[in-house]
Structure 1
């Protein structure tokens, strides 16, 4: 099945309609060693990262041109969704609910999945070195996600502190750890959550988490509260809607302190020191400032010294550094691509654009004019939701992605909560099935 130019926008927005790096391998030819694995016989796109961007791109490249060989390199055996992981922390979903198989990509589209880690990149000779061996490519798509700037908080940049003060903005072990600590907390305990400075993954994500932790406390931990130290001067996304929900449902449970940076932590005592004082909470969710995943640095994808994010051209997502390497998702530099949030839906939308543009590039065709979409739902309890949405277009005059329309939900209600649940099911299907 090929995506025509006429259907380009339809596929880009397909998941929205549905709402009403890195083992073993799926491919037996992969073996241990440092030599070339899976020798290339035709046009090939290698994808590094099997998250929201990478998995979507793998599927949509094959939809655009089934003859292109797609090899996806991903460390994890299964896809674990960061969006919706707050529901696990809130106590009404499990990790099983947000963990999905890559088998649909393999069986339905012929995507080859290699569970390995990237070690190095030879962009001149178009070779990606992995822990399983060397993969040759014609084009490489990198969707590595984020990593944390632990060094910005004194005392945090060591394994003991990371375990004591989990960030849980990459779904997995830390998600489970935070959920378990909330369940084990005695009534009357204090939870501390810190919101990092922008830009960071999923702007409304920490505020949804605050709401769901408060909901959990209200139901199961009487006398407890959650204190929020926000590095920003106010709620970054959906502020009035979150504030109204907190006022109506969580008075006396949420204590919100804006413009308050975390200065240091002490894993031996559990103490957290901020600009406005220190505290020893029973449970601490410290979310540091963020940057592109360390893989992007290790592979030499940064074009400017001091950059924390990878610069890429927004029309095609070709990297500034190498014309054979495209970069999408949270790892991209907003100053280069434009003012889009670092969200799962944006990564999904970028992936569909990149899929079309990269296949056209292989065929020697000019890129098409792309559009991009974002919808972000947040639950404020187990049933009620709010949302923000936007449509973006590429502006050739300034070479940036710009918002052309959008808005937020007028209020919170159970219907939007249902839409949030339907959205998750729909977009996972869009990516993986």
Structure 2
């Protein structure tokens, strides 16, 4: 798709333009302690059979099943085998070996009797509980994997069990698609930090902390910069630093006012605009471009989000979040996170653009699928209402009276 600068894109067109430019980041080695949530960038094979020997699954006595008959049976107790120690010999006829969970079985032993089903009598052990089957309470060598088996494949996201599996095959480091590095630059002379009492015409900077939380929830590494002024030199300096990251997210300064200086500053830094404005409410002024190459790495993806907080949330969920997950090679088939839900009540909607309206999930009963209830929303500056929402009901452009029970799209916050 070529650069789209002369018309209002649909949400799908804007997403397509972004995904075309959100190539996977270059894989890099990562220690296991830092790899949780990353996507594997290589196939991983087992270096050994696992388990590397026939091992006991319970504490008890290793035996030959052929030595035992139904009912009570007496065997002499030979050596004791603890975890981490190997047996020194095979079992003699009519002999058992005391064994701990995880320890290797002696040669010829083919079953383990649980200690709870035994009784010691001097140097002997009395086995109770009926017939013993070959293979009982025994895990065969290589049952989990054989040396050379592919145990994890490229493209798999790494969770805790998979990290444990990597450790079990000797991988202290693994090749992954790294987490994107994201810079957040809030802009505007009207902003003050949250711990400052606003003066006349000022508001607290809620956008930065909100976007930092949303970004961090994707697994990305995020850094928030100081508030950039509505002044070309200071703004340009902070944006230039942000372009060293994989993604630069800017809040404010992308509308059509005289003080909206961000697009001009980005152009002076070599950022190529892809599109400006999307056919969506709230969030129409969204700006997207690509920075100049960073050595052998592609240029940063640059998102200019409107300054109104709800516009910023919608813009992030629709466009920034899918880009971050694509960079990290996360599966994108479910992005943005949408579902189809019925309306809990009737709703009248009128707009020239598709509208993402704050709504909460409300199940009528424990067995019912949660329906969506639009909230009493005052517009794109009304963050308090969104704080009570579970996401956004999607209403098509135009005038329409929706009936209770009608099904609409729902954009989830989480």
**Taking structure 2 as the reference length, what is the TM-score of the superposition?**
0.23
Structure number with higher helix proportion: 1
Structure number with higher strand proportion: 2
Which structure ranks higher in relative contact order (CA pairs < 8 Å, sequence separation ≥ 6)? 1
> Which has the greater radius of gyration?
2
**Taking structure 1 as the reference length, what is the TM-score of the superposition?**
0.23
